[in-house]
Amino acid sequence: MPEGDSVWRAAAQLHAALAGHQLTASDFRVPRFATLKLAGWTVDEVVPRGKHLLMRLRSPAEERLTIHSHLKMEGAWQVYPPGGRWRKPGFTARCVLRTATADAVGFSLGILEVVRTADEDSVVGHLGPDLLGPDWDMEEAERRLRAAPEVPIGVALLDQRNLAGIGNIYRCEACFLSGIHPAAPVSDVTDLPAMMATAKQLLEANLGPGRRTTVLNPRGMPVGRMAGRPGYWVYRREHQPCLKCGTPIRHGVLATQAGTEERDIYWCPSCQPPPAGTD
């Protein structure tokens, strides 16, 4: 599952390649939009909204449409020179957009739909404040989190209706850096703004190409270089020593709010004591 920073980078790359350019061809390889042709439309901008991508287009007659996509687990947008050879199998392509200077191809997209730009709220209006958005609103995000004080913080941080942009990696890392067990209820977290600020820092530190080390370990070294992993304190480091205290990192699962899905959590049992009544 991509985090907000991956989506932000994808949007920046697509915006650089497409914005201001007229489409010479479009090919939507999903039944609902298979007959839609956007040749002649101009891409105005590509913006991230949480983990959603919005490509806003304008027709010569000033009609406005938005291509809404979500990468979900496997999705990716890639930009090629015109006619360039794709690096992913053609049968996974869901959307192909061509301009005179670039081909943008969306592969294995979890969501692909086209809506009137005026109706964008119908697809992303449910999202909470966007950690990487220009209108990030910490108070509103805290209000939404506090509205369900009994929910485990690790679940609440992933719920994009509370705040948008955090995926599994950064919820684990933000909980660790805040000294909070992911299963602890929201009501146990006294300083939610500090925790959200930490998550925002982690996301912002990774807006460059490739997700890299975001934090330094206590010796001031990039964590990834020491641990042979891309710079995480706890994520996928089970059984390895905590970089702060040496205690072996633990691994477990935490069910999402609807109880329909379990996601991995990683924590240090001594830096992040479990909430009362749990292991």
Give min distance, CB of 270 to Zn ion, in A.
Answer: 5
Give min distance, CB of 241 to Zn ion, in A.
Answer: 8
Of the pair 78, 240, the CB lying nearest Zn ion is at: 240
Of the pair 59, 270, the CB lying nearest Zn ion is at: 270
Of the pair 169, 242, the CB lying nearest Zn ion is at: 242
Task: State in Å, rounded, how far the first CA of the chain is from the last one.
Answer: 27
Is 211 an active-site residue?
A: no
Is 3 an active-site residue?
A: yes
What DSSP line would sit under 25-47, residue for residue? EEEE-SGGGTT---TT-EEEEEE
Torsion on CA atoms 69, 71, 75, 78, rounded to nearest 10: 60
Query: What distances in angstroms separate CA 60 from CA 23, 25, 57, 137, one per listed residue?
Result: 11, 15, 10, 36
User: What is the 3 state secondary structure string of 151-199?
Assistant: CEHHHHCCCCCCCECCCHHHHHHHHHHHCCCCCCEHHHCCCHHHHHHHH
State the catalytic residue, choosing from 238, 263, 274, 275.
263
Question: x/- site string to Zn ion, residues 230 to 259, per CB under 5 A?
Answer: ------------x-xx-x------------
Count of residues that interact with Zn ion, criterion CB under 5 A: 7
Neighbours of 125 (CB within 10 A): 9
Going by C-beta distance under 8 Å and a sequence separation of 6 or more, which residues neighbour residue 39? Answer: 23, 24, 25, 26
Is 262 an active-site residue?
A: no
State the catalytic residue, choosing from 49, 51, 211, 237.
51
Question: x/- site string to Zn ion, residues 190 to 229, per CB under 5 A?
Answer: ----------------------------------------
Of the pair 85, 239, the CB lying nearest Zn ion is at: 239
Closest residue by beta carbon to Zn ion: 242
Is 51 an active-site residue?
A: yes
| Residue 180 binding Zn ion, by CB under 5 A | no
| Residue positions counted in the chain | 279
Residue whose tokens read 């350019």: 21
Q: Which residues of this protein are in contact with Zn ion, per CB under 5 A?
A: 242, 244-245, 247, 268, 270-271
The residues annotated as belonging to the active site are 2-3, 51, 263
